[in-house]
Amino acid sequence: MRKFLVVFLILLAALVVVADIGARSFAQNTLSERLAEQMEMSEEPDVAIEGWAFLPQVLSGDYTEVNINADSATMSDVTVEQVEATASNVEAPLSDLMDQPTVVAGQVDGSFVVPYSYFNPYLPEGMTISTEGDVPRISGELALPELGLSTSVSSAGEFTVDGDVLSVTPENIEVGDLPIDVDDQVAGMLTFSAQVPELPLGLTVTDVEATSSGLLITGNGSDVPLMGSEVA
């Protein structure tokens, strides 16, 4: 009898583990599908619901952390890359899930990378932003209509953000061999501001950082709907 009880408990534990894994996988796949639709992704993102056990989280309606990763997504008709988001204090009451699925995160921190090519239309004709030595650089042949001249230009760029407006200021400008100093004029022509692409899940921009693959934009938000009627 004791041996039978031990075997029974082992089988029961195994069934619970299998059920937990299956339920977690189903929830992750469902959230992944909804996010792919919302963020216009060509492929579904990787969604991982953290925590040592999933079923207890379902019963309580509180989830410790949900991690979301995707290679690319579309924000305001702009394709961005390396999309990452971590949702914490996620609430999804079981009663709501049984009726109309609703998932809300108390806090979400996210980021994505905007390719430097996104900013090229803001520059004068002939100028582009590309990566040189793992840092962004503005370069090309710049026409100076007021002087009736054109010259090769190469410049570093400083990226700053204020709210949802991104500003780019040239630094350490190098120009071709000209008989006059045109640095101030070139600096004015290469300085511009652009609208930051909308962050995933409606997050607020907090910082930008120039990287070798593009401009890394980070943001956060509170009480963010991940699934349900309130999701934009």
- In sequence order, which residues have a C-beta less than 8 Å from that of residue 154 and are 6 or more positions away? 137, 138, 139, 173, 174
Question: Looking at per-residue confidence, does 141 or 45 come out higher?
Answer: 141
Q: How confident is the model at residue 16 (pLDDT cuts 50, 70, 90)?
A: very low
Is 74's pLDDT higher than 80?
Answer: no
**The predicted structure's pLDDT at residue 5:** 37
Mean pLDDT check: name the lowest of 34-43, 89-98, 140-149.
Answer: 89-98
Residue pair 225/202 in contact (Cβ under 8 Å)? The answer is no
Whole-number Å distance between alpha carbons of 211 and 121: 20
Is 144's pLDDT higher than 60?
Answer: yes
**The predicted structure's pLDDT at residue 46:** 86
Whole-number Å distance between alpha carbons of 209 and 114: 10
Q: What amino acid is encoded at 39 in this protein?
A: M
Average pLDDT, the chain: 78
Q: Give the best-scoring range by mean pLDDT among 41-50, 51-60, 155-164.
A: 155-164
Is 6's pLDDT higher than 70?
Answer: no
pLDDT digits (tens, 9 = 90+) for 164-178: 898 999 999 888 887
Is 15's pLDDT higher than 50?
Answer: no
Question: Looking at per-residue confidence, does 60 or 146 come out higher?
Answer: 146
Q: Considering the chain, what percentage of its residues have pLDDT values greater than 90? A: 13
The full length of the chain comes to 232
**The predicted structure's pLDDT at residue 21:** 60
Is 17's pLDDT higher than 70?
Answer: no
Mean pLDDT check: name the lowest of 23-27, 62-66, 142-146.
Answer: 23-27
Q: What is the pTM of this model?
A: 0.78
Q: How confident is the model at residue 26 (pLDDT cuts 50, 70, 90)?
A: confident
Residue pair 205/167 in contact (Cβ under 8 Å)? The answer is no
**The predicted structure's pLDDT at residue 177:** 81
pLDDT digits (tens, 9 = 90+) for 165-221: 989 999 998 888 877 788 888 899 999 998 887 777 778 889 999 888 899 999 998
Strand 62-75 versus strand 78-91 pairing type: antiparallel
Q: How confident is the model at residue 12 (pLDDT cuts 50, 70, 90)?
A: very low
**The predicted structure's pLDDT at residue 30:** 74
